[in-house]
Each structure stands twice: as structure tokens, then as C-alpha cells.
Amino acid sequence: MAMRRETGAQGDLVVTWAEFPRSPGHAFYDALQKVLQGADFDVFVENACKPYYAAKMGAPSLPPGRYFRMHMVGYFEGLDSERGIVWRCADSFSLRDFLRLSTREKVPDHSWLSKTRSRLPHEVHEKVFGFVLKLVAERGLVKGERIGVDGSTMEANAALRSIVRRDNGETYHAMLERMAKESGIATPSAEDLARFDRKRTAKKLSNEDWTSATDAEAKIARMKDGTTHLAYKPEHAVDLDTGVIVAAPIHEADKGDTTTLGDTLETAKANLSAVGLAPTPDDPCEIIADKGYHSREVLKDLDDGDWKSRIAEPLPAKGYLRWRGDEAARDAVYANRARLKSGVGRAAMRKRGELVERSFAHVLDRGGMRRAWLRGRENVAKRYLIHVAGFNLGVLMRALTGCGTPKEAASAKNALLFAVQTDIAAAIIIIAEFEGAPAIFTVVVMPEPD
């Protein structure tokens, strides 16, 4: 199938009376559209996607820029499913304008999103994420001096009841039936199986023994709320001076923090290099992380390299440390401890707890990605990257207009004029719009002396 290019929406020659009444566009999406068009976003994504379409075959496809815009809408509107994205776009004239649809053109079906995602590799989504990161960096919103790293959990689109044993393919329900019959229950019912499963000892679900029949890359993991699900592990590398996410890979949920840190830092270094802020041994970038990332091997690898570690140190089990002749590990641990206990290190740890956790709250909870509706780590990573790109665009929009989400822009626009009268002074707070951006003006009126 050939790739269709974005040429803009053609105006209609005849407009019916039902189409004439029209509310003004959404202030946030109109401003975001200007930013994307000013940076030639559509031209960039069409050139990036061109190798994956036929030169000329059949009817042209839908423009690739529409595919990425719809996923950005999914982040800004907090929609987890692609069907929900289509329904929301079809229900809003403002979003139709954001997608650059003509009056009689339909919103693409959810199946088109799936087909386009399967056609475009992960590298194209990385290029789009890098394009947005470069766009944000051009406004001075990427410093590359302090990077906070942390991981979270994302529930996979697979149920625990679908797991099977790796050795013989036996399901969990079949295993319970077999064990119940061996214990003396001839024909166990569902209640008998549930009671038997609760009472049996030494039960443990291990990823070495079990796998999902529907999503083999999803791993059994304990979620943040304490429940156990098949899940993935997103990990964020956040610029602590601006809050911009510079890397957001998806790892297997059973991988520890010390195992995944190297891949995340490599991705962050590549993205920072693309915007001219690559860390070097002469000018290292600080890496701030919690105690889950602390290990002697990690600190030795980071020592005298591109990264300067400020990683929280857990308390030793016996109150003291044994080095057994490993002087490199001793020097790395003590140097990290000295940097961590300084005033700069303590401030950086507080900043990490604020900005990194906020990025997870925006992307996973408010952005609708706490549970994945796609299967396969690559599929999940493709959509997750565009959601993170939407988060970075929100940081840029907050710097340009004062509002980083559509709801924030709507609440600022619809705010009322109110006054506060006290014995000392009267404060009149006015919320208005200045060049399309909400602005807050406070006028303090002092009473006349008696």
C-alpha cells in the first residue's frame, strides 16, 4: 500500500445549515497544532515512514502524522484503548481539526491504528520521540546535567489464569485438579479447587516455571498496590532540572533495577547525544536513583565514566561492609556515599522523588497506560513512546502557554473573576487570556487612610 501525504483539508464549496453553527476550537489543541506545524512534524514523519510503504500500489493510506496525533490524543485525554481514542476523536470537532480531517472525512477506525503500528517498526517511533525531544530541547527545556531514574509496573493484557507450565504446557487449573485428585478428592468442584489452593503450602508462581499462553513476554510480578499480575516494567530517565523524560524503555517485569539500569542509561545517552548534550568522562551527567539501583558492580561501572552516581545506599545487613580486597568497589561506594550526603545530593534526591514519580503519575495513571491493551513488549513500547512524547509536549506547552493539558487549559479559560476583601486590602484576581494563553493578574487595592 502506498503512503498518503498530508496536504491539508480542502474547504467545502457548499455548507449545509447543520454544519454552519460551530464553536471555536480548543485553545490547547490549536496551540499544539501550531507548534507541530511550525516544526514541520508531518513532513518529518512522512519521510521517516516512507521506506515502509509501497511506492505506488492501490489507494494511498492515511497520513502517518494522523496516526501519531491520535496516540497523543490518547495521552492528553487519558484513554487506554484505541477504540476509546477513535470514539473521542469522532465526538469532537476540535480533535477533528487537530487530526486535520475535512468536514466529510471519517475518523480512522481502530483497526487502522493496529495495522499502521504493525507496519511501522520500533525505530520509527523512536525517531518521533527524538523529534519531540529535540523540539523541547530547542526551547531550552533539556539541560542534561542531572538525570533521575526509576521504574514502575504496567499490567499486561494477559490474565494469570492463562499461564501454563514451561516444561509440559499444563495449565494452572489442570495442575490443581491433578493435585486435588492425588490428595483424595475424586471429582473436585470449583469450590473444592479454590479451598485446596488456599490451604496448600509451598505454592509459588515463578517465571522460570510458568509463562503466559497469550503474551509470552509478560512476566509475573508484584504491582505497586501489592497485587500479583502479568506485567511489564517501564523505566523513566527524567531531566531533574525541567521534568522532561529523556528515555522510557520497557523492560521485562522480572528484571531487577540493577539489571535494567545499563540499558536505560544507554538509551538516555543516545537521546541526549541527538540534542547535543551527550555526557562525557570530562563532563559527566549526574545519575540520581533510589536504593534499588545500588550495587557494587553498578557503582564500579559508573565510576570515572559518563555518569556521576548519586544512588541511595541501603543499610548493610550486619552494620558494616566487607570488601575482601575489592578496592575498586570500596572506592566507588565511598565516593557515591560522599556525593549522596552532600547538600547538593540531598536536594537532588528530593527532586528525583518529585519529578520522576510525577512522570509516572502523568503517563501511567492520568495518561491511561497503567494497564496495557496490546500484547508483546515491542507493541507496548511503540505506544508507550508516543505517550511519553505527549508528556514532553505537555511540558513544552506549559512553558509556552502556561497549561500542559487540555483540562488545565479549559479550567483556566472558564475561571471566574473573584475578589477577596480584608481589613487590610482588597485583592482582585483576574484570569484572562493573553495571545491564546491563560494569564493571571492580581490587583491589590489598599484602603484610603482615615
Q: Give the pLDDT of the chain (450 residues) as one tens digit per residue.
A: 678 777 776 666 666 645 555 556 688 999 999 999 999 999 999 999 999 998 877 777 889 999 999 999 999 999 999 999 999 999 998 999 999 998 788 999 999 999 999 999 999 999 999 999 999 999 999 999 999 999 999 999 999 888 999 988 999 889 888 888 888 888 888 888 888 888 887 777 889 999 999 999 999 999 888 889 999 999 999 999 999 999 999 999 999 999 999 999 999 999 999 999 999 999 999 999 999 999 999 999 999 899 999 999 998 767 788 898 999 999 999 999 999 999 999 999 999 999 999 999 999 999 999 999 999 999 999 999 999 999 999 999 999 999 999 988 877 765 544 444 455 445 544 444 444 444 544 444 445 555
- The answer on 311 and 257 residing in a single domain is yes
Place of cell 485428585: 181
- pLDDT on residue 445: 47
Residue 148 included in any domain? yes
Residue 391 included in any domain? no
- The answer on 201 and 107 residing in a single domain is no
- The answer on 188 and 110 residing in a single domain is no
Residue 103 included in any domain? yes
- The answer on 295 and 364 residing in a single domain is yes
- The answer on 57 and 185 residing in a single domain is no
- The answer on 78 and 37 residing in a single domain is yes
- pLDDT on residue 26: 83
- The answer on 340 and 434 residing in a single domain is no
Residue 19 included in any domain? no
Q: What is the value of pTM for the model shown?
A: 0.86
- The answer on 182 and 150 residing in a single domain is no
- pLDDT on residue 443: 46
- pLDDT on residue 389: 97
- pLDDT on residue 225: 83
Domain that holds residue 32: 27-120
- pLDDT on residue 21: 54
Residue 20 included in any domain? no
Domain total of the chain: 4
Q: Which of 382, 406, 431 is the last residue of a domain?
A: 382
Residue 328 included in any domain? yes
